[in-house]
Amino acid sequence: MPDPIQLRVNGQTVSVAAGTVVAAAVALVGQTRFRRSVRGEARGPMCGMGICMECRVTINGFTHVRSCQTLCEQGMEVRTDE
């Protein structure tokens, strides 16, 4: 097994295997809500393929990144609900 990658989701450290997408890392810390809709509803990933945009999060300060299409990298800072 390759060394696990460590990243932080909302300040919480999580270790994942190489090849894990950021959306999965968010789920692994127990966070089901990725963002709030324009009217405040809870939303999370749906399409898993980069088209519905419901899984978007902030990664290393870049907002609106599709977490289902982005692979985890060592030291990433991920924030949901932004």
Partner 1 sequence: MSDTRVSFEVVVVGAGPAGLAAACAAAESGCRTALVDDTPWLGGQIWRGQQAHPTIPLAAHWVERFKQTKAVLLDQCTILGPGSSRILLAEDPGGPRQIQWERLILATGARELFLPFPGWTLPGNFGPGGLQSLAKHGWPVAGKRIVLAGSGPLLLAVGGGLRKMGACILSINEQAPLSRLISFGAGLFRWPSKWGQAARLKWTLRGTPFRCGVWPIGAQGMEQLRAVTLTDGRRQWTEECDLLACGFGLVPNVELPLALGCQLDNGFVRVDAWQASSVAGVYCAGELTGIGGADAALVEGSIAGLAASGHENAIRQLMASRASWRRFSAGLAKAFALREEVARLASAETMICRCEDVRFDRMKSFACWREAKLQTRCGMGTCQGRVCGAAARVLFGWGMESVRPPVLPGRVESLTQD
Binding to partner 1 (CB under 8 A) within 40-59 occurs at 41-54, 56
DSSP assignments along 9-62, one per residue? ETTEEEEE-TT-BHHHHHHHTT----EE-TT--EE---SSSSSS-TTEEEETTE
81 binds partner 1 (CB under 8 A): no
When binding is defined by CB under 8 A, the residue of 32, 60, 63, 74 that contacts partner 1 is: 32
Query: Least CB distance from residue 34 to partner 1, whole Å?
Result: 7
29 binds partner 1 (CB under 8 A): no
